[in-house]
Each structure stands twice: as structure tokens, then as C-alpha cells.
Structure 1
Amino acid sequence: MSGSRRRPRRADPARSTAFRVLRAVTADGAYANLELARRRGDLGGQDAAFATELVAGTCRAMGGYDRVIESASGRALRTLQPAVVDVLRLGTHQLLGMRVPAHAAIATSVDLAALEVGERVTGLVNAVLRRVAERDWPGWLAELSSGEDELGRLALASHHPRWIVEAWSRVLPTAELEDALAADNVAPVPNLVVRPGLADRAELGGTPDRWSPFGAQRDGDPADVAAVVEGRAGVQDEGSQLVALALARAEAPGGPWLDVCAGPGGKSALLAGLAREAGTRLVASELQPHRAQLVAANLRAYGPPNQPVTIVADGTRPAWRAGTFARVLADVPCTGLGALRRRPESRWRRSPSDLPGLVGLQRRLLARAIEAAAPGGVIAYVTCSPHPEETAAVVADACGVTLLDAAAHLPEVPDAAAGNLVQLWPHRHGTDAMFLALLRRGGGPADR
């Protein structure tokens, strides 16, 4: 068709925004939720909701969609221009995961490709998506899972890499595995939390958290809540609140508290208020200066007495004397696989090869956290991952400590105990999959 007879291309603000967010995720390593929040401000309510579902759903199912695209195109993904792949991913989600009519999903994807990539790719996009539309998702699932074993079929059906499904199968009863994977695909309601001593939970509105006395679930923009704007409250998953609360409940000697890996500062803000109530102060340490600024912002509403302190320091090379702190939180860097419902792209971004480096760092940070504790002091080892190599295996090698019964410090939370450890799950608790171990440094009182 000549240029003079070509149908005019129509820009769609929601799809254009979704494409630019997805490009930032796949090309630049951006987090989808943060990039969406940054870019969707100019969209109206329906367009913003459409863009959010388009990005989140595409990121969640990307592994399966990539296999669909390869089958429909007859080409390996690496032979296609990356921007074209992202257009095809968004179109595939509209066809297989949303209630968008096929003609609309294909036509708008072709227009998007023309406007964002160039006219030369429109024929390819049109042809591939027409092939995709020949089957629904169950039909594609049946074709793609042919020859897979049970775990392989479950991985494909639940939109998870196989290695994650295998890891979950090691720590969950078989009857719960499918529910656990399904829970990763349900976006959570935003959860707010007060800074103890600075705000009352009633100011948050919404529905009070089930177990944390500080939080509430609330739809909408957190910036609409005055206490959040003023720094007297913030955004934090209930699971993160609970692990901080357990540390504060453990019997420990007097003295200051330490958060070893504080960024971005949600747990620090909760612990700072609890420390003030106990008559002491929190030192929040963060390696990265820009993340230390986020910690300071989260702590900004706390003043004297016992005002918390934020420092830039490497937790593996302590800037403090050994044996200084009564309570130490080591919320260590991890794969983040416990928060896949919030950051669905992480399941495709991480791989088993990430584990050795992370586990080595986790072991070093825990060792230094133990050294930072005073005799009888309590250390909370925390990850936002249920992967056994990042959790129980790290704790098992800790030296100079006694393992406390972490679940006994959260008696109100059912089905959280994993021996003397705590493992929360989205499908059981409606929280991120937070892991907690409580350790007492030698020389102090026994656990009660």
C-alpha cells in the first residue's frame, strides 16, 4: 500500500506509556511499579488502569509469552529487534491475558510499532500477532507444555521459571505449591504503616492489618494520606512490619539498636519508633549514598529525644565497635523472590547463577551483624525470599549464637513457623514471603 493510501496511525496514550515502561524494564533494568508510577501521571483513570494491567500482566507472563512469540514467528527472540519484541509481548498479553478483542489488540499493536519503532516492522508485528490470536492461552499452554514433566507444566501455567518452582517445592507441602505460585500473580492492595509515637493507625483509613498493630491496607494513592505526606507514616508490607516487631519483642539488654542494611528505610522507620518507646535510639546504616538519603527521608519526622541516626557505611566492614548494639537487624540483599507479586519482572530477571554471590554476601553480613551485637543481644536475620539457600542454610552456619524460637515472638500469626524460624507466604498470610531468624549472641540470657 502506498504512503498516500495508508491508514493514519493512531497514538494510544495508555499503550504508548505501557511500551515505554516495558522498554525501561527490559532494556534498562527498571522496576515496573516504580517506572509506572513515574510515567502514568498524565493518564486518566481508565487509561492508567489499562496501562498498569498491560505492564504488570506482560511482565508476569513474559517467559510464557516469549515462547508463544517464538512459536508464532518461527524465529528465536534474539533475532528480533528488542523494541519489536516488547510490542509483541504487549500485544500477546492483550490477546491471551486481557479481554481485548483480537482485531483491536492487533490493530493497536501495529500502530504502536509504527509510531515507536517504524513502519518497516508493521508487517512482521501484524503477521505474528495474527498467528498468536489463532489460539487462546489454554490452547498455547497445551502446545507448549507437550513433553514437559509435572513441574515444567506447572512452571509454564503459573508464569514462573522452573528453578523457582523447584525451590518452592523444597520448602512447601506439595498440596500448597500451586496456591503459592498463584498468589505471586495477584497484585497486593497497598499497605500503609504508621511511625510509632507519631501517628495513629486510624489516620491511615482502609482496613487494619490482621496482625500488625501499625498497618492498614488502603486502595488509592498513599500521597492522599496526610500522615504519609508528613513522614509520620509510610508504605510497608505487613510482613516487613512483623519481622521488625518480632525483633523488638525479643528480650535483650539495654542499649542502642542497629539496622545494618537499612535502605530504603521502611523497617528502619518502624524500628526507630519502637526504639524510642524503649528509651533508646536506632542507628540506620546503608552502603549506597542515594539509598541512605531514602532512609533519612523515612526517618525525617523523628526528632529528640533519641533521634535516629543515618550513616553511610559498609555492613561487611563495620563503622562501629563490636559488641555495641542490643538489637541488630540484618535485612540482607537477596533475590527478592518473596515479592514477586509486587515486582513480577524479577522472576525473569533473576537466575540460579545469582545465588552464590548473594549467599556469600549474606553470610558475611550476618557474621558482622553478630559481632555488632552486645553479649546477650539479639540479631534478626531477614530476607524477602523463601529460597532455602538464602534462608535456613545461611542461618545454619552462623557462629557464636543461639537460635531463638522466632515464631514464639509472633504468636498471633498462624502457620508461620518453620521449625524455630519464621517463613511468611502470600497464599497463607497475604504478605510478602518474608523470612526471619532470631539469634542471641553468646553471653546473655537464654530464650524464654
Structure 2
Amino acid sequence: MTRPPRRGGRGPGRPAGRQDLRPRPQLDGARLTAYDVLDAVSAREAYANLLLPQLLRERKLDTRDAAFATQLAYGALRARGTLDAVLATLVDRPLGELDPRVLDLLRLGAYQVLDLRVPAHAAVDTTVDLTRAIVGPGPAGLVNAVLRKVATGGDRAAWLERLDASGDERLALATDHPRWVVEAWREALGDESELEAALLADDAAPEVHLVARRVPREQLVEESGGEPGPWSPYAVRLGGGDPGRLAAVRSGAAAVQDEGSQLAALLLARAPLEGPDAAWLDMCAGPGGKSGLLAAVRPAGVRLTAADRAPHRAELVRQALRGEDDVEVLVADGREPPWAPGSFDRVLVDAPCTGLGALRRRPEVRWRRTADDVAPLAELQRDLLAHALTAVRPGGVVAYVTCSPHTAETVAVADAAAARDDVEVLPVAPLFPEVPGMARGDYGQLWPHRHGTDAMFLSLLRRTR
């Protein structure tokens, strides 16, 4: 990145011996950090939830600036569709023809005006300064002109009127979701009255959830200053702060894990079983959160096998299971398994999915995924579930879970497996009487707006013969 000349230094193209005494802008650290996140997401498909904490640690921003950088980065990524709809009316060429750096800077500035209501002069001037430093003086003029037009048009509500969208298109713009996700949520909910609340819950910053694996929850509550989670007996919800500061987290006795993900692991452990209970399998185990909880709650004498086809993810599983006895971690694809059919009593399939259930944690995913991604993932999910049913013995159970509510990845996959004549569906909701509103037929569905968790889907199948 090109840095602006120091104040009093020689500017580009100026004769030696003459000082440039004009004030030069001091770049805003919070805004520069937010831009760097947007740029990395656009240019390298980085994940904001992994990159931003790293940048905040490296740059040592104070609490206020770190909070503003987080709000800017996550907000602008989440609102990209609406921001682009506004910008497209003000730029005299397709947005795709702009320098990607300029487009990200325009998004950053427009978000401040439309959603944060930062005074127009501050939003425009600081973004122009960034543009001049990062891209150059020519594009800075374009950014200045466009952002002043954004500010003249008012806030988000005013721009929604100006864009004259209606129906699902207006709802998509108002809630920062692609239209295909709006349609998928409607189908999954089966209730129009909840649709907007569900979409808006995706836009709220999530709490940090901890799981008490090898430490009493009461002790973790006291150490963290958090509150017991309402659904999982192992969950603690934090109001804020860095969970990495906690001794229990550093030692592996506790970990960061969404409470919905905890319930997905507990589903396998709570399932009624016919016959022996000695061997459990987490078939798509990386990065190891559910394996870690399964290892902690299994009865004495149960051996846990955790597999993942990616070596680096299998290594993360090993780290999550450090200190646990009678566990085995394999680099293995569940569709080409090294284990014999019928080897396990319980099998968990946390299948690869679109990740649409965790949009509040990964704001860029809503624009990175497309409707075309669903069908190949659903095919993979059906294949993995079929192999899981082969891996479990007759009388054993398979829990199929995904971090997505999309019908094609959830109900349709479980229904296809349940159509086999050697499989029966076990109702999920009765296993969690403490969790209201999770029944989706015989399956289970968690929602951010109902449960304060990721939108996890849960299903339970027994192999009958």
C-alpha cells in the first residue's frame, strides 16, 4: 500500500529543495483497517471473522476505534447488495468495470452515510483521503463526487424509496440479503409473519458463546463474567470481551462454540439407542468443536473416532481433543471410509453446506454463495448421509445436522434417507423439551430470532436392519 508523504516532505514531482508545507491528511486507523478487510475479502476471498481480529491485534487500536472498525467492516460487507444498488444509480458505468479498490472504498463511505449516519463531511472526506493514499488522486475525485450524491439522497430509508423496489426485492434490500436467500427463508419458516424478523436477526452482531467441556459451567460463568446459556447445559454466553483471555479457553477445558452447535452434538448423545453403546463417529469432524463436546459427554468406555478428509482440519480436531483418552482422529473421506460397515453405534454427520445459518458471524458469505451452490452441496450431503447409515450398525442412530435452514440441504436430504426401508425417523423436539419452537416436523430447526443461535438443522435417523 502506498503511504502519503509525511507532512513537510517533498511531494511527488516537486523540485528538490522546496518543502510542501500544505497539511497532509492523517489516515484514520479504524477506517483503514475496515478497508483492508473489505479488500482482502474481495481480492483473496478472505474470511472477515478470521482476518479482522488479527488486524486489530497487530495495529493495537484502542477499544473505541476497534469497535468502529468492526462495525464498519462487518456492516459494509453485510450491506453490499444494498450499497451496490445505490451506487449503481450514481456511477456512469457498470460497477464491475471500476477498480475493485475504488468500489470497496465507495461501499465503505456509502455505508457510513446510509446506515451509520456519520456526518456526510466526515464520511466523504475520510474516504477521499483513503482513496488518494491507496489508489491515487484521480479516483479520489470520483469517490468524492459519488459519495456526495449518496449523502444528498438521504439515509437508507430514503434511498429505498428512491430505488422504488417492491415485494421480495424491497425486503432483500432492507435486510441486506440476496433475493434467493429471502425466498429460501420463507420456505424454511413456512410463516410469512416471521420472515422479516428472521432476516433482520442475521444482521445483528452475535454474542460469543462458550462451551464448558472439562470445567464445570458454574466455574466458567464465574471466570468469564458471562451468563449460563438457556438451552445447552454446557453453554455460557458472553456480553463482550476477548474469550482468548480466559484460562479455561487457553487450556482447552472450554472453547468458543455456538449454543446451536452444542445442541447438534448433544442430539447424538441424547438419542435413544437399541443395543450396545461403545463406538461413536464424527464423520465430518473439522474443525473439532462438536467432537470436543462429544468427547466430554460420552459415557465411560465409549471410543470416539473423528474423521475429516482435509489434513489441516483433522489437525484442528486433534487440537480440540488434546487431553482426551480413547479417541482416534483420522484423515478420511466418509464416502471412502477406512472403517467397516456397521462399525459404530452412533454417527454424527455435520455435513459441508452453504453456511447460510451463520450469516451473522460471516457477513460476506451471503454474497459469496449463490443459488447455484445448493444443488451440488445437497448431492454431497445425501451421499455422506447414505454412507453414515452404512457405517452405523442396525439399531444404531445417525444425527444429520447442517448450519443451514435451506430446505434442499435439510428436510430434502433427511427425507431422501428416510425413504429407505431400513431407516426410521426419530423426532428431535422431544429430546430437547427445554427448547421451545424448534420442531420442524419430526426434525429440528434453530433460528437466530427465536433462539439466539445459528440456524442449525437437526435430524435423527435410526437404521432398523
1:229 maps to 250
Q: Counterpart in 1 of 2:411?
A: 392
* Residue 342 (structure 2) aligned to one of 307, 323, 339: 323
Q: Is residue 449 of structure 2 the alignment partner of residue 431 of structure 1?
A: no
Distance in 2 (alpha carbons) for counterparts of 1:238 and 1:422: 14
**What one-letter code is carried by the residue in structure 2 that aligns with 1:14?**
A
Amino acid at match of 1:227: A
SS of aligned partner of 2:210: strand
Count residues in correspondence. Answer: 435
Choose which of 195, 212, 222 in structure 2 pairs with 1:194: 212
Which AA in structure 2 matches 1:26?
S
User: Aligned equivalents of 1:309 and 1:266: distance in 2?
Assistant: 15
Distance 2:435 2:22 in 1: 62
- CA shift for structure 1 position 420: 0.4
For 2:352, what is the secondary structure of its paired residue? coil
Q: Does 1:266 align with 2:285?
A: no
The C-alpha deviation readout for 1:318-368, integer Å capped at 9, x for no partner, is 111110111100000000000111111111111011011101110110011
Alignment match, 1:138? 157
Asked which structure has the greater CA Rg, the reply is 2
Q: Which runs of 5+ in 2 are unaligned?
A: 1-10, 15-19
Superposed, which structure 2 residues align to 1:19-418 within 5 Å?
19-41=35-57, 42-135=60-153, 136-144=155-163, 146=164, 148-172=165-189, 173-195=191-213, 198-205=214-221, 206-218=226-238, 219-252=240-273, 253-275=276-298, 277-302=299-324, 304=325, 306=326, 308-398=327-417, 399=420, 400-418=422-440
Q: CA deviation at 1:301?
A: 2.8
Q: Distance in 1 between matches of 2:334 and 2:381?
A: 10
The separation in 1 between residues aligned to 2:88 and 2:300, in whole angstroms, is: 59
CA distance in 1 between counterparts of 2:99 and 2:220 reads 46
Instruction: Name 1:419's counterpart in structure 2.
Output: 441
Q: CA deviation at 1:244?
A: 1.1
Separation in 2, partners of 1:32, 1:326: 38
Structure 1 position 75, deviation (Å):
2.4
Q: In 2, distance between residues paired with 1:278 and 1:142?
A: 62
Query: What CA distance in whole angstroms lies between the structure 2 residues aligned with 1:318 and 1:387?
Result: 28
Amino acid at match of 1:385: S
- Output the amino acid matched with 1:285: A
Secondary structure, in 3 states, of the residue corresponding to 1:362?
helix
Displacement of 1:5 in angstroms is: 7.7
**Match of 1:97, SS?**
helix
Task: Kindly provide the amino acid, as one letter, of the partner of residue 140 in structure 1.
Answer: W
| Whole-Å separation in 2 of the counterparts to 1:429 and 1:273 | 24
| Residue aligned with 2:409, SS | coil
Q: CA separation in 2, counterparts of 1:343 and 1:30?
A: 11
The answer as to whether partners of 1:203 and 1:227 remain within 8 angstroms in 2 is no
Residue identity matched to 1:200: P
Which deviates more from structure 2 when the two are superposed, residues 426-435 or residues 277-286? 277-286
Query: SS of the counterpart of 2:49?
Result: helix
* Match in the other structure for 1:446: none
Q: Deviations over 1:411-430 (max 9, x none)?
A: 11101001100011111111
Distance across 2 between alignment mates of 1:116 and 1:201? 48
| Alpha-carbon separation, structure 2, partners of 1:348 and 1:402 | 37
Q: Which amino acid aligns with 2:282?
A: D
Verify the 8 A CA contact 1:263 1:295 in the aligned structure 2.
Answer: yes
SS in structure 2 at match of 1:27: helix
Matches of 1:224 and 1:357, distance apart in 2: 40
CA drift of 1:7 comes to 4.7
Secondary structure (helix, strand or coil) at the match of 2:323 reads coil
Structure 1 370/81 Cα, relative in aligned 2: closer, same or farther at 3 Å?
A: same
SS of match in other structure, 2:127: helix
The aligned amino acid for 2:395 is G
Q: Structure 2: how far apart are the matches of 1:181 and 1:93? A: 19
Summarize deviations over 1:64-102 as a string: whole Å, max 9, x none: 101111112232111100011011111111111114211
Structure 2 counterpart of 1:11: 27
Q: Which amino acid aligns with 1:168?
A: W
**Which letter does structure 1 place at the counterpart of 2:32?**
S
CA distance in 2, matches of 1:409, 1:246: 7
> Per the alignment, in what secondary structure is the counterpart of residue 407 of structure 2?
coil
- Shift of residue 171, structure 1, vs aligned partner: 2.1
Comparing 382-391 and 312-321, the one that deviates more: 312-321
Q: Which runs of 5+ in 1 are unaligned?
A: 444-448
Q: Is the 8 A contact 1:323 1:371 kept in 2?
A: yes
AA of the residue aligned to 1:411: P
Amino acid at match of 1:65: L
Is the partner of 1:389 in helix, strand or coil?
helix
Give distance in 2, aligned partners of 1:202 and 1:117: 52
Partners in 2 of 1:254 and 1:248 — Cα distance?
Answer: 10
AA in 2 matched with 1:334:
C
Q: Report the Cα distance in structure 2 between the residues aligned to 1:104 and 1:98, rounded to whole angstroms.
A: 12
